[in-house]
Amino acid sequence: MTAQTTNGQNGSTGGAGHHTLYMVGAIVLAFLVAWLFPHFAASLEMGGEIFLRLLTMVVVPLVMASVMSGILGLGDVRKLGRPGAAAVGYYLSTTILAVVVGVIMVNLIRPGVGFEPPQHEQAAVEVADGALVLDGEMRDSSANPRQSDPRDWVEVTIDGEPYFLPAYEGVKTEPDIGTIFQGLVLMLFSDNLLHSMVDMQLLPLIVFSIIFAGMLTTMGERGKTLTTLLVSINEALLSFVMLLMRFAPLGIFCLVTSRFGEAFAAGEFVTQLKQLSWYVATVLGGLGIHFFLVLPGLLWFFTKRNPYQFIRQMSDALLTAFSTASSSATLPVTMECAEAKAGVSKQSTEFVLPLGATINMDGTALYEAAAAIFIAQIYAGVNPDFEFGLVQQVVIAVTATLAAIGAAGIPEAGLVTMLIVLNAVGLPIEYLPLILPVDWFLDRFRTATNAFGDSVGSAIVDRTFPVPTAAA
Ligand code: ASP
């Protein structure tokens, strides 16, 4: 294997600063255009869609090739023990920390106390024939969430349009934590590899890749050709991502302009933002604390890296996450930035980031806890019999953690898994449409937080990997 250690130097490193500036500029310009010419802006959707598809296109092969190449680089799957445990420990503890921040913020600000739900158009939600029908507004944020989620799905009709929600037991009946947990464990396994690839179910692909590459390392000479091929596929895919990133400012511009343009063109966005301003402030404040204080604190504590420099190095990934609202679509960029710009080792990015993009969602967890408690505060004002104390808050915290682990890395997946959290404490799902109007907006911030959590994880777990020897 050559060029293992100097991988970061090939390609975009030199122009990183300028490139990032272009991306920031693209987002600022996108806001302005969306605001001034909303109808024109909304018509840029196709450009954004193309960029999104190109990114999403590489996710499945990249995840498989990179996880395999990571294991092959280690030379022995058993060497994954310590870093594996560290990664899972990191994912869990930061998700819990995020939930705690969310719970504290929503209890301090109490955005739901005295909140008057908008009078006009009372949104109706009902569960009929196993389908959840929301008569509210929900954007067509994710064309088909089934693509990246292995659960059973129920068809849902919102304003006459079909949508799909996961058929968690919780959608229909009261879930118990055991059932949710069982669902999560089963998500790791697939009975059909091709099916998982087609549906972009990353978890079973990761499990397969670890086992497969682990076996390859035991095959000696017989596995050599395949090993070389896999490592080279991985490098080629990363070069593809680098090429794609040259168009990122344009892609991002189209994505952001068209989505904000759509919102401004509909004419209600600012009003909705004002109505929900305390709730929005709670979620954004919580995300801000987690993003700028908690995660940087952990990074500094464990690696002594300068966290704000690290944010700069990861900024392309963070801006892409903000623009796409999808951790899965952002994953290729996160990997490229972590390895080429932040200098995180290959093994660590190849293993920690794909898994993290799927199960480590700090922003989503924080949001689910805060949103559920916001709804509980409103409901408690309407229904004095509703008991909402410490126990319920703990149940919300636990289910929000599980719901975030189970959420797919696609736009507004967190809103869908919110159903589990609401059901767990007996909150009416009829209140979900209250937070719908601003969800696409908050989604961007939580996705950026998700991507940042993964990046910090890769840098921290990096330290627990065995020093590379003459492996592979
Ligand atoms: N959009 C988020 C992601 O892809 C998930 C969510 O919170 O809805 O990471």
**CATH code of the domain containing 60:** 1.10.3860.10
Centre of ligand 1 from the C-alpha of residue 426, in Å? 24
CA–CA separation, 105 and 353 (whole Å): 28
Q: How confident is the model at residue 154 (pLDDT cuts 50, 70, 90)?
A: low
User: Distances from the Cα of 121 to the Cαs of 87, 136, 262, 271, in angstroms?
Assistant: 46, 8, 21, 15
Residue 117 falls inside a structural domain: yes
Centre of ligand 1 from the C-alpha of residue 65, in Å? 24
Angle in degrees, CA 470, 471, 472, rounded to 5: 125
Which ligand 1 atom lies nearest to the CA of residue 411? 1
CA–CA separation, 412 and 362 (whole Å): 14
Residue 472 falls inside a structural domain: no
Residue 325 falls inside a structural domain: yes
Residue 471 falls inside a structural domain: no
pLDDT at 152: 52
- The reply to whether ligand 1 has any atom less than 6 angstroms from the CB of 409 is yes
Residue 248 falls inside a structural domain: yes
Please determine, for residue 314, whether its predicted confidence score (pLDDT) is greater than 60. Answer: yes
Centre of ligand 1 from the C-alpha of residue 427, in Å? 22
Please determine, for residue 146, whether its predicted confidence score (pLDDT) is greater than 50. Answer: no
- The reply to whether ligand 1 has any atom less than 6 angstroms from the CB of 414 is yes
User: Distances from the Cα of 211 to the Cαs of 71, 214, 218, 224, in angstroms?
Assistant: 9, 5, 11, 17
pLDDT at 208: 95
pLDDT at 340: 92
Centre of ligand 1 from the C-alpha of residue 459, in Å? 22
Q: Which residues are CB-contacts of 138 (< 8 A; sequence separation ≥ 6)? A: 158, 159, 163, 433, 436
- The reply to whether ligand 1 has any atom less than 6 angstroms from the CB of 436 is no
- The reply to whether ligand 1 has any atom less than 6 angstroms from the CB of 360 is no
- The reply to whether ligand 1 has any atom less than 6 angstroms from the CB of 364 is yes
Instruction: Give mean pLDDT, residues 361-390.
Output: 92
Angle in degrees, CA 270, 140, 451, rounded to 5: 80
Residue entry with tokens 């229909």: 172
Which ligand 1 atom lies nearest to the CA of residue 407? 5
Residue 470 falls inside a structural domain: no
CA–CA separation, 240 and 415 (whole Å): 32
- The reply to whether ligand 1 has any atom less than 6 angstroms from the CB of 341 is no
Q: How confident is the model at residue 415 (pLDDT cuts 50, 70, 90)?
A: confident
Complete DSSP assignment for 181-218: HHHHHHTT--S-HHHHHHTT-HHHHHHHHHHHHHHHHT
Question: What residues make up the domain containing 82?
Answer: 2-464
- The reply to whether ligand 1 has any atom less than 6 angstroms from the CB of 406 is no
- The reply to whether ligand 1 has any atom less than 6 angstroms from the CB of 327 is yes
Summarised one tens digit per residue, pLDDT across range 316-335 is: 999 999 999 999 999 999 99
Angle in degrees, CA 213, 454, 50, rounded to 5: 85
Ligand 1, pocket-test mutation among 318, 412, 444, 449, most atoms within 8 A of CB: 412
- Domains held by the chain: number: 1
Which ligand 1 atom lies nearest to the CA of residue 368? 7
Please determine, for residue 126, whether its predicted confidence score (pLDDT) is greater than 60. Answer: no
Please determine, for residue 219, whether its predicted confidence score (pLDDT) is greater than 60. Answer: yes
- The reply to whether ligand 1 has any atom less than 6 angstroms from the CB of 446 is yes
Summarised one tens digit per residue, pLDDT across range 2-30 is: 333 333 333 444 445 678 888 889 999 99
Residue 469 falls inside a structural domain: no
Residue 249 falls inside a structural domain: yes
Ligand 1, pocket-test mutation among 443, 444, 452, most atoms within 8 A of CB: 443
Residue entry with tokens 């490229």: 336
